[in-house]
Chain A
Amino acid sequence: MQTVKPIIFLMLLLPFWSFGQKQYTLSGHIRDAANGEGLIGAIVQVEGQGVGATTNEYGFYSLTLKEGDYSLRYSYLGFASQTRKIDLQANQKIDIQLATEDIQMQEVIVTDTPPDQNVSSMDMGVSKMEMKTIKAMPALLGEVDVIRSIQLLPGVSTVGEGASGFNVRGGGVDQNLILLDEAPVYNASHLMGFFSVFNPDAVKDVKLVKGGIPAQYGGRLSSLLDVRMKEGNAKQFAASGGIGTISSRLTLEGPIQKDKSSFIIAGRRSYADLFLKLSGDEDMKNNQLYFYDLSAKTNFTLGPKDRLFLSGYFGNDAFRFQSSDGDFSAKLRWGNKTGTIRWNHLFSDRLFANFTGIYSHYDYLLGVPTGSQAFEWTSHIYNYSGKADFTYYLNVRNTLSFGANLIHYRFHPGEAKPLGNESFFNPYILQQQRGVEYAAYVDNEQSLGQRLSLQYGLRFSAYDFTGPQTVFDYEGPVGQRKKPVNERTYKAGESIALYTNLEPRFSMRYSLTPGSSLKASYNRMAQYVHLISNTTAASPLDIWAPSTNNIKPELADQVALGYFRNLNDDQIETSAEVFYKTMQNQIDYVPGAETLLNQQLEGDLLYGKGRAYGLELYVRKNTGRLNGWVSYTLSRSERKIEGINNHQWYPAKYDRRHMLSVVGIYALNKRLSLSGNFAYNTGVATTFPNARYEIDGGKLTVPHNTDGTRNNYRVPAYHRLDLSLTLQSKKNETRRWQGEWVFSVYNVYSRRNAFTVYFRQNDERDDITTQTEAVRLSILGSILPSVTYNFTF
């Protein structure tokens, strides 16, 4: 650290050196002509100069140039480019509306070449997914799903079918910062993990950042999944929706005041339980089983310099069962609520600011409503945060970003209380935990001539674990449950443990030829909250724990190197990246760890380090009748934890050596398109026994590994093919209603992919327990066809 700091300080000064000639600023917004939505990452290029700008998350750009005549090209993938000639003699504001390629407008000059962002931007380890693409891909049971789609990108794996979340470059599911309009989402899954919480109709833009993460973002080790909601159609009222096999959706959007303010509200609900009600089975009729979510957003243009956005998400999964005689019952509910208020303010044409207030809440309830074991158990995580982000478009060569944020956390890890008079339970309340995370950052994107661009920044983060709290130290043998000792109590607001970290970030791009570049990046990340989960797939009941006096912040350092090349007149993008990542203070668990309702949870935790490295190859075609991508990842993710695997490196549970995915979308004609996904992944690592022994007088057979190794085998490889066919209704100019049918088939050849392979004794009653077997458990082991009807009007 000591050697890094002076260099960074020097670099921060660089942008302020020497300007001579008069300079003026050209700024404005780039929007979608159809609905007024700001376009994120649209490009403004100064033709013949090799300089330009990209729009930010709000569609704003700013470019400061020397006075003179310029030809500017505005472009965005899938949209017709526009060229403007300007004579820059004063600061100018140019707002541009780009139209999709099939609605060609006469007054604009249309060029066909898509941007070469892939090669020319600083981005590496970044995957942007167009909602258009996500919607065209075959989906499980027709449910278009953001997270299931990104699982087909290079460097992204999962522990298996139906598992919630995703693993990026060898990191845990909790190491992804999932932001929905800047609000963190603590459990992004519906139905245990089969689907994600984002309603595809309300999502505008999805970006996954796996490396070279800018200093603006922090708090998680492995990735940033930035999901931005639509702002709502500012031109005209529109409705869209769909009727699917699992759920139905409806989205309404429109202007409140044309081109000034708009709203969008999108909801969906699953209806498996409505079918249950129709079933003749009395038991089934009393069941509830559904998820729903509601996303809403509105924005107001307060003036030329101010814009206000309000957005919210509210979703739940609910399950309730009661046997017909009322003797047995159970209920389970979990959900996220998020709210974001943002105020964009232009202090000048060159200083863009955004102030954000965020609320996020995740909770679950588990209960048995009746009987002697009636109880209700709840757990919450509350999150309030505020941040200020500034972008200063210093000059054409430098864009400076800086800001600060503060997150207040409150964890209610668990509270169980008896229900009714019959229950034999006592109330059991785990201590609440509180903490504050602070961060400040500065980051500069600088181009040094035509070929070399740099982005360098520094993030300072801190976490303060505060009282009121009773804390312990833990003592005991390595690898086993430890006992609490040295109890001490802290008063409200008193600091128990304070952690600070400096997180340098750096990326560079060097253009080799106009169509190819070399990129490199380094980032350090710190993470102060941790998902406590010792099951194969994370469950909705898992709790988040803050860093405490015992749980240290997780740290990661990642270096990556990439070669980017566009072929065929920029129609094909290719990239090859290698990365190496080390992780500190990784959490694991003692055997038989009790992660729920355990006041002494920290005694069940083990700590160690992780490393991951790999190669990611990616070829993508964005234009033409056939588009899609092929991605291949060769990687390794390992852990070394004291108390596991004899303290030697072992593969992480989501380590997949080879991952291949092929996604293709082919337009057969104007109305009909066909798409397919194919995925092949090395099986996950698991522990197989090399011996067994008998206990209970020979009645129970226990698998055992005499070497004490972890994850010494692999389950069989995972592969799967999905297909879908989309048929659009005939275009009819006089009718606003547009419909489409989507027929999709998941797991076309019905492969029984192994989620796990486990070992058991044949449990034939009264049999001797000598017969043992290996069992393959497949989660979605058969072909799953579905039909969805989507409409807009």
Chain B
Amino acid sequence: MKRIYPIQLLIICCGLLGLWSCEDVIDVALDEGETLLVVDGWVTDQPGPYTIRLTTTAPYFSNQSTPRVSEASVRITDSEGFSEVLQENEPGIYQTSQLRGKIGNTYTLHIAVEGEEYEAQTSIRRVPLIDSLGFEYEEESPFIEEEGYYVSYFGPEPAGKGDFYRFKVYQNNQMLADPGDLIFVDDELVDGNYIHDFMLNDEAFQEGDTIRVENWSITEDAYYFYLELLPQIENFGLFANPPANVRTNVVNKNPEGLKAVGWFGGAGVSAKEAIIVPGNL
């Protein structure tokens, strides 16, 4: 895939140069910025309900969940003319009950809250099926932090450039959600090829674990959202990118109004599940 992680390879080299670098947690006094609406939600081609999570930004060191945004009017419309108002089932958690995402359709999210109106657009793209998952036991090395089982992806990548994927891995129904587990690729270098032995986890699995892999076929702008996000949540030392704000597709209809951040995405999703049993390897 296009991301062959050149910088990560450089960092492995730096690591081998010696353990000179060190990290310390320090105290820093930060300003507090204005409070902005945060949108986080996806529609997929899988059955709903789809969830839109509305929160606000918070001071960086507030050390608690960011505040939820309640009593917003949240609506999703699709390119077929369907429209549904989402129900707030929990504070800040808005869900659909009828909408069914379809590959090829575009979706618009409409939010009205505290006198501001926001919109975000996305679409659902084709997604290839996952053929199988492979497991291999790996020893510790500069590439492998801990020894154990590692899962690999096997499946075709459809011909025609312009596909973007995010892989989500679940260990015993728990999604691996560390910054290091964020895996997203484009098909620029692998277009139309059969993807095999593509390792997906960062930390080792154990025998008996149930592993589920989902392939989310995301839009190009969502890929860039992740591309901008990654260097903000993972640091690459000597070769870090400068901190910068991550893009959003949420737009205030009033250009002078308060900005929003976050992402409203659409994806075709395929999945595969397997249990790690030594005999199956």
Bound complex: CA A772 to CA B179 (Å): 13
B38 proximal to A (CB < 8 A): yes
Chain A residues in 8 Å Cβ range of B182: 700
B89 proximal to A (CB < 8 A): no
Cβ-defined partner of A192 (8 Å) among B17, B33, B231: B17
Among A11-19, A88-96, A326-334, A438-446, the stretch that binds chain B is A326-334
Chain B residues in 8 Å Cβ range of A163: 238
User: Contacts A535-B241, A536-B240, A777-B235; is A591 near B247 (CB within 8 Å)?
Assistant: yes
Chain A residues in 8 Å Cβ range of B281: none
Inter-subunit contact A704/B238 (CB<8 Å): no
Among B100-108, B196-204, B271-279, the stretch that binds chain A is B196-204
Among A72-80, A109-117, A690-698, the stretch that binds chain B is A690-698
Bound complex: CA A377 to CA B23 (Å): 32
Secondary structure call for the A interface? loop
Inter-subunit contact A691/B33 (CB<8 Å): yes
Bound complex: CA A422 to CA B198 (Å): 12
Inter-subunit contact A704/B261 (CB<8 Å): yes
Cβ-defined partner of A481 (8 Å) among B4, B179, B224: B224
Once A and B bind, how many residue pairs between them come within 8 Å at the CB atom?
A: 299
Q: Quick one: closest A residue to B57, CB to CB? A: A691
Cβ-defined partner of B242 (8 Å) among A191, A541, A687: A687
Q: Please report which residues of chain A, range 292-324, place their CB below 8 angstroms from some CB of chain B when the two chains form the complex.
A: 319, 321, 323-324
B280 proximal to A (CB < 8 A): no
Q: How far is the CB of B108 from chain A (nearest CB, A)?
A: 19
Chain A residues in 8 Å Cβ range of B62: 692, 770
Contact flags (1/0) for A409-428 with B, using CB distance below 8 Å? 00000001000001011101
Q: Please report which residues of chain A, range 379-438, place their CB below 8 angstroms from some CB of chain B when the two chains form the complex.
A: 416, 422, 424-426, 428
Chain A residues in 8 Å Cβ range of B189: 416, 425-426, 428, 597
Cβ-defined partner of A775 (8 Å) among B23, B238, B242, B244: B23
Inter-subunit contact A691/B36 (CB<8 Å): yes
Chain B residues in 8 Å Cβ range of A425: 189-190, 193
Cβ-defined partner of A776 (8 Å) among B26, B36, B143: B26
Chain B residues in 8 Å Cβ range of A515: none
User: Contacts A332-B10, A691-B57, A765-B203; is A535 near B141 (CB within 8 Å)?
Assistant: no
Inter-subunit contact A778/B33 (CB<8 Å): no
Inter-subunit contact A772/B61 (CB<8 Å): yes
Among A203-211, A366-374, A674-682, the stretch that binds chain B is A366-374
B6 proximal to A (CB < 8 A): yes
Q: Please report which residues of chain B, range 21-43, place their CB below 8 angstroms from some CB of chain A when the two chains form the complex.
A: 21-28, 30-36, 38, 40
Chain A residues in 8 Å Cβ range of B138: 325, 327
Q: How far is the CB of A318 from chain B (nearest CB, A)?
A: 10
A791 proximal to B (CB < 8 A): no
Interface size, B (range)? 35 or more
Bound complex: CA A305 to CA B201 (Å): 70
Q: Quick one: closest B residue to A375, CB to CB? A: B4
Q: How far is the CB of B252 from chain A (nearest CB, A)?
A: 14
Chain B residues in 8 Å Cβ range of A696: 40, 177
Chain A residues in 8 Å Cβ range of B2: 597
Inter-subunit contact A768/B65 (CB<8 Å): yes
Bound complex: CA A163 to CA B139 (Å): 33
Chain B residues in 8 Å Cβ range of A596: 6
Q: How far is the CB of A763 from chain B (nearest CB, A)?
A: 5
User: Contacts A535-B238, A777-B23; is A759 near B40 (CB within 8 Å)?
Assistant: no
Inter-subunit contact A192/B236 (CB<8 Å): no
Q: How far is the CB of B242 from chain A (nearest CB, A)?
A: 7
Inter-subunit contact B262/A774 (CB<8 Å): no
B254 proximal to A (CB < 8 A): no
Chain B residues in 8 Å Cβ range of A765: 178, 203
Q: How far is the CB of B96 from chain A (nearest CB, A)?
A: 16
Chain B residues in 8 Å Cβ range of A687: 242-244
B14 proximal to A (CB < 8 A): yes
A236 proximal to B (CB < 8 A): no
B113 proximal to A (CB < 8 A): no
User: Contacts A428-B189, A691-B58; is A535 near B22 (CB within 8 Å)?
Assistant: no
Inter-subunit contact A700/B179 (CB<8 Å): yes
- Interface residues of chain B, those whose CB is within 8 Å of chain A, are 1-2, 4, 6-7, 9-10, 12-14, 16-18, 20-28, 30-36, 38, 40, 51, 53, 55-66, 136, 138-139, 141-144, 174-175, 177-180, 182, 188-198, 203, 224, 227-247, 259, 261-263
10 A-B pairs in the complex with CB atoms less than 8 angstroms apart = A192-B14, A283-B141, A327-B138, A416-B189, A425-B190, A426-B191, A534-B241, A699-B177, A775-B23, A775-B26
In the complex, besides A330-B143, A756-B240, 17 extra interface pairs with C-beta distance below 8 angstroms are: A321-B143, A325-B139, A425-B190, A428-B189, A534-B241, A534-B242, A535-B240, A687-B244, A688-B243, A689-B30, A702-B233, A703-B233, A704-B261, A708-B245, A758-B243, A759-B60, A778-B21
Please list the 8 inter-chain residue pairs (A to B) with the smallest Cβ-Cβ separation, ordered nearest first. Answer: A706-B33, A592-B228, A690-B33, A699-B177, A372-B197, A323-B141, A591-B244, A691-B57
